[in-house]
Amino acid sequence: MSHPRVGVAILTMGTRPAELTDLLASVAAQDTPAARVVVVGNGSPLPVLPDWVTGVELTENLGISGGRNAALARLREFEDVAVVVDLDDDGLLISSDVFRRLTELYAADERLGVVGFRIADEQGRTQRRHVPRLRAADPMRGGLVTTFLGGGHGLSMRMLDQIGGWPEPFFYAHEETDLAWRALDADWKVLYEPKLVLQHPWTSPTRHAVFHRMVARNRVWLAKRRLPAVLVPLYLGIWTATTVARTRSAAGLRAWFGGFAEGLRTPCPPRRPIRWSTVWRMPRLGRPPVV
């Protein structure tokens, strides 16, 4: 059985040169080598890279979505790339068999669109928010899901050719869910495979200054773009109540409601809601599209 070839995409803002060097070393150590590796400087100059790495310097920060689309465009120039692996620049592949296991999964299932890795810190712990299902107590339980983690994952190039790339207006937050819902609606599978591990420092999402605003704005945009009209107020109502109950920072809540209002006020086309058959299938995959 022939295995698809891997292209690796890494975004950096130039603030983690040591971590980027270590990550590239872990990519080079894979027993199934990547066909191509692209590192995108997202509005920042790139450090000196190994000669087997293609560098792309963007003049401005296009966010996660725009930066990944830039990497994807560069990888499309190489016709031998069938699976794109996105990796955070402060992550690390601690096993040398990640790409081999990944390509075996894709070779075995032609409708496999997304494979999400398990994110674990240096002590092997996985944060609850990094498990892509509602029942997240056991991060080692893999299977088909409705979304995936942005820090480490594989994407079928055939799937991307069909459904399109990352939603650039999102910049940061919920871009994975938008892509995953489009994939599911086109009958591609989204798999969480906990045996594929990206080591990543234990972090809080609020470390990003724009976290609360972007999360709220993009959640509204996601609903407006992808949900059947009758589900939009239900989805937004549930998440508003959840956010108010969970958020302990008054400043964070103010930023969240500001982003929510921005999302309501501003368009984010195209509006292409998922089919009702997809809506009914998602609860069986562990997460209905209103939670």
* Secondary structure in 3-state letters for 122-144: CCCCCCHHHCCCCCCCCCCCCEE
Report the CATH number that the domain containing residue 192 is assigned in CATH. 3.90.550.10
Residues 119 and 25 in one domain: yes
* pLDDT above 80 for 190: yes
> Please, are residues 42 and 58 in contact by the beta-carbon 8 Å criterion?
yes
Residues 221 and 188 in one domain: no
pLDDT band with cut points at 50, 70 and 90 for residue 203: confident
Q: Rounded distance, CA 255 to CA 275, Å?
A: 32
**Which of 203, 228, 244 is the endpoint of a domain?**
203
Q: How high is the pLDDT of residue 44?
A: 95
Q: How high is the pLDDT of residue 135?
A: 80
Average pLDDT value over all residues in the chain: 95
Strand 83-87 and strand 152-156: pairing? antiparallel
Residues 216 and 194 in one domain: no
Residues 62 and 119 in one domain: yes
* pLDDT above 90 for 248: no
* pLDDT above 70 for 265: yes
The pair of three-digit structure tokens given for residue 58, joined into one six-digit string: 């963007």
Q: How high is the pLDDT of residue 206?
A: 58
Residues 62 and 116 in one domain: yes
Residue 291 lies in a domain: no
* pLDDT above 60 for 1: no
Furthest-apart CA atoms within the chain: distance in Å:
56
| Residue 190, strand partner residues | 114
Question: Per-residue pLDDT averaged across 219-224, rounded?
Answer: 98
* pLDDT above 90 for 205: no
State the DSSP code for 127: -
Question: Per-residue pLDDT averaged across 186-206, rounded?
Answer: 91
Residues 110 and 247 in one domain: no
Q: What is the pLDDT of residues 22-33, one digit of tens each?
A: 999 999 999 999
Residues 181 and 237 in one domain: no
Residue 228 lies in a domain: yes
How far is CA 258 from each of CA 65, 218, 222, rounded to the nearest angstrom? 22, 12, 16
Instruction: Report residue 220 CA to chain centroid gap.
Output: 18
Residue 174 lies in a domain: yes
Q: What is the pLDDT of residues 90-121, one digit of tens each?
A: 999 999 999 999 999 999 999 999 999 999 99
The pair of three-digit structure tokens given for residue 276, joined into one six-digit string: 């009702």
Domain that holds residue 176: 6-203
Q: How high is the pLDDT of residue 2?
A: 67
Question: Per-residue pLDDT averaged across 227-250, rounded?
Answer: 95
Question: Per-residue pLDDT averaged across 235-243, rounded?
Answer: 96
Q: What is the pLDDT of residues 37-63, one digit of tens each?
A: 999 999 999 999 999 999 999 999 999
How many domains in the chain? 2
Q: How high is the pLDDT of residue 209?
A: 54
Residues 14 and 58 in one domain: yes
